[in-house]
Amino acid sequence: MNRSLRVGWLVAASMLVAACAANEATDDAAEKPQAASTVTTLDETALIESLAAPIVYSDFGSRVIYFVMTDRYANGDPANDSGFLTGPRSVTGFDPTDIGFFHGGDLKGLTGGCTDPERGLQRLADLGFTGIWITPLVVQRTVQGDSAAYHGYWGVDFTTVDPRFGTEAELKTFVDCAHSLGMKVYLDVVVNHTGDVVRLVGSGFVEEPAPPYEAFVLEAEKDLKKPAWMNDVANYHNRGDINWGGCSTACIEQGDFSGLDDLYTEKPEVVDGLAEVFGSWITRFKFDGFRIDTARHVDKDFYLRWIPQVLAAAKSVGIEDFEIFGETWITEPIEQSKYQRVWGLPNQLDFPLFDVIARYAGGTQGAGGVMLRLEDDDYSRMADGRAPTPGTFIGNHDTGRTAMMIKAQSGAEGDELLARVNLGHSLLYLLRGAPVIYYGDEFGMIGIGGDKEARHDVFATQVSAWQTQERVGSAPIGLGSSFEVKGHPVGEHLRELAALRKQWPVLWRGATLPRDRNDGAMAISRFDMADQREYVTIFNNSTESRLLEFATSTPSATFTAVWGDVASTNSDADGFVSVEVPPLSAAILRAEAKFPLVKQPPVVFAAPDDFSELWLLSAETSESPQEVSFLIDDGTGWRRVAVDDSYPYRAFVDPDALPAGSTSRIVAVSRFADGTLMRSDIAEFTNTK
């Protein structure tokens, strides 16, 4: 089945499978759940209810994150521009006229004295940012080929700060300043590779059982890397470059990423060495989290061994909620979810949503793709009960800027492009997850491509092409600095959206229920379980008004328009409302009455998932907003699989995690807004996968 057909269908899918399972006689245990005894002891009932703990909303999900390339923001100390090296740009890496070289931005410029509202961290705090993600700071291999390491991803000395970015003292000042402003700091780290130092006698990727290439290091560079273990060529795969035209799993995980030295992340000494060196950045500078570059290119067991050591380092200095989110550039949500469900990565950047949200904001795709992606969150739900809170984005330093991504879809110019960019940002801020805004987007930067073409200067640029490039919402920057542009409409919209998230926390921690879509318009309910209140976020990507008519969970209530250009409305006795949505807009409605609690025990079922190799656990229950915990006993005792707070209520079980041919017991426990728990009878299914 085409996965796009799941929109709407999934709302009833689990019940349909359940009905078939209950009413069709069959010997096929793989297809149908089996009845089981409903009798449990008091001790077992208490255990089941204790495992059905409430859903957890992480601090990360509350954050609005500014992603910045340190070299391109502000030059606070021109004395460090060349890294205290002398010679041509091939030695120093500095050439502010070339988009592929260092331009002079540094930590001192990014900090901005901590109190300057015109630039630096105070400016970002005033725009509503509560987190900042900075590119890697380790000492770089200055120049490789026709480009320099201004971006920070070609590290050779992982123990300290590259002098072009500043000093360790300036880094401490930066982190302390951010914390004083209520901002968390996330450091970009690279565990997959180092800068290109190891030489290979060959280039194309070679698969096992063929031996790796002969590897060597030039005499002058034999001690270039730090820590010292990084200078041992045996700690690298040495199998040649990734073949982007067609690559096996081994190639993806063991190949050199564009010639960069691929670390042998299967080896315990490499895992432990990376944990020690990056743990020291936490204990010395008090970072609040890591973003993992090229996260899908390491050995799949790496995170299961590395992350516990990193978290231990954080806890040793009192950081209990250290966040780790990975760059797993996979747009297929089920495949991407494996990095969390199976391979131990705590969180990810939401590439599947990125893949559809630019098309929606650009007007080339309807609401179905966005709604489907939200339903796919269930594949990432885990036993720890954490609600899905990925980092959401539309553009970045690799893909290209938000405005460029949307313009490429729509072909829009002028006011329409501005409206579409603001619509895209509204989606990021008003849906689940932590919105990540790429630096410079708040000044209307567009760009003409990804990578180097998307890494503009915020301070006055000497790149002539950037001086004349089109911007959305303002004129080309010319010889001036973007900091001189006051009240930019994109930046002001971001400020307004951040205030909404602060005023209405349900926008980041409320359960999500896609409601209705009509030719580019869509309505999505959010539920504040503590206040027993329903909110509805509404979007329209059409250049014409659209009428939405949809069910809510709050009948006979006034829905007040608390933001956006829509009228307040009333739901009928069945909960239905009608809303006229203006073109290229977003809005929020808030129910003035509490949603009613309709309590009934859930009924739990198991069946093969139609879209993956997993077992699908589903619960049929009342229409009241609730949290449903799914528990399983495969013979080793009860454990929670996941908790789902959004209808249809589902969880997924990897058959490889169950003994082959074994029969497991399953149960679902509903938690209602008033704290009431109701549990299903126990069912059984046999793992024949």
- The enclosing domain of 124 has a CATH number of 3.20.20.80
Q: For residue 614, give the amino acid letter.
A: L
Q: Is residue 662 included in any domain, yes or no?
A: yes
Indicate whether 231 and 332 sit together in one domain. Answer: yes
Indicate whether 199 and 147 sit together in one domain. Answer: yes
Q: Is residue 270 included in any domain, yes or no?
A: yes
Indicate whether 613 and 675 sit together in one domain. Answer: yes
- pLDDT in the model for residue 682: 97
Q: Considering the candidates 106, 188, 293, 442, report the single residue annotated as catalytic.
A: 293
Indicate whether 52 and 96 sit together in one domain. Answer: no
Q: What is the domain-level CATH number for residue 546? A: 2.60.40.1180
| 88-121: b (≥16 Cβ within 10 Å) or e | ebeebbbbbebbbbbbbbbbbbbbbebeeeebbb
- The neighbouring-strand residues paired with 577 are 550
Last residue of a domain, one of 568, 591, 614: 591
Q: What is the domain-level CATH number for residue 678? A: 2.60.40.10
Indicate whether 526 and 472 sit together in one domain. Answer: no
Instruction: Give a three-class secondary structure readout of 140-162.
Output: ECCEECCEECCCCCCEEEEEEEC
Indicate whether 607 and 510 sit together in one domain. Answer: no
Phi, psi of 308 (to 5 degrees): -55, -35
Q: Is residue 597 included in any domain, yes or no?
A: no
| 469 vs 484: CA distance, rounded Å | 17
What are 661's two structure tokens? 């041919």
- pLDDT in the model for residue 441: 99
- Whether the pLDDT of residue 39 is over 80: the answer is no
What are 568's two structure tokens? 């307040």
* Residue 111: domain span: 67-349+436-499
| 669 vs 605: CA distance, rounded Å | 13
Q: Is residue 417 included in any domain, yes or no?
A: no
| Residue 95 known to be catalytic | no
- pLDDT in the model for residue 31: 43
- Whether the pLDDT of residue 485 is over 60: the answer is yes
Indicate whether 52 and 104 sit together in one domain. Answer: no
How many domains, in total, are found in the chain? 3
Q: Tally helices (H) and strands (E) across the chain.
A: 18, 33
Q: Which region among 34-43, 267-276, 621-630, 642-651 has the lowest average model confidence (pLDDT)?
A: 34-43
In 220-286, which residue ranges form alpha helices assigned H by DSSP?
A: 249-254, 268-285
Last residue of a domain, one of 476, 499, 522: 499
Average pLDDT over residues 485-510: 98
Give the pLDDT confidence of 368-394 residue by residue, as tens digits: 999 999 999 999 999 999 999 999 999
Burial of 77 (0-12, 13-18, 19+ CB in 10 A): middle
Average pLDDT over residues 308-321: 98
| 272 vs 85: CA distance, rounded Å | 33
Indicate whether 220 and 282 sit together in one domain. Answer: yes
Q: What percent of the chain has pLDDT over 70?
A: 94
Indicate whether 490 and 532 sit together in one domain. Answer: no
Maximum CA pair distance of the chain? 82
Last residue of a domain, one of 562, 591, 620: 591
Q: What percent of the chain has pLDDT over 90?
A: 92
Q: Is residue 423 included in any domain, yes or no?
A: no
- Whether the pLDDT of residue 91 is over 70: the answer is yes
Q: Is residue 381 included in any domain, yes or no?
A: no
Average pLDDT over residues 107-132: 96
Tell how far CA 423 is from the center of its chain.
19
Phi, psi of 650 (to 5 degrees): -145, 160
What are 630's two structure tokens? 């799914």
| 610 vs 606: CA distance, rounded Å | 12
Indicate whether 92 and 241 sit together in one domain. Answer: yes
Q: Considering the candidates 327, 375, 620, 627, report the single residue annotated as catalytic.
A: 327
| 388 vs 525: CA distance, rounded Å | 16
| Residue 223 known to be catalytic | no
| 6 vs 650: CA distance, rounded Å | 14
Q: Is residue 328 included in any domain, yes or no?
A: yes
Q: Is residue 673 included in any domain, yes or no?
A: yes
Length of the chain: 689
Question: Confidence band (pLDDT; 50, 70, 90) for 40?
Answer: low
The pTM assigned to this predicted structure is 0.94
Indicate whether 618 and 575 sit together in one domain. Answer: no
- pLDDT in the model for residue 13: 39
CA dihedral 483, 484, 490, 495 (to 10 degrees): 70
Q: What share of the chain is helix, strand, coil (3-state, %, to 5)?
A: 30, 25, 45
Indicate whether 24 and 88 sit together in one domain. Answer: no
The structure tokens 């000494």 sit at 269
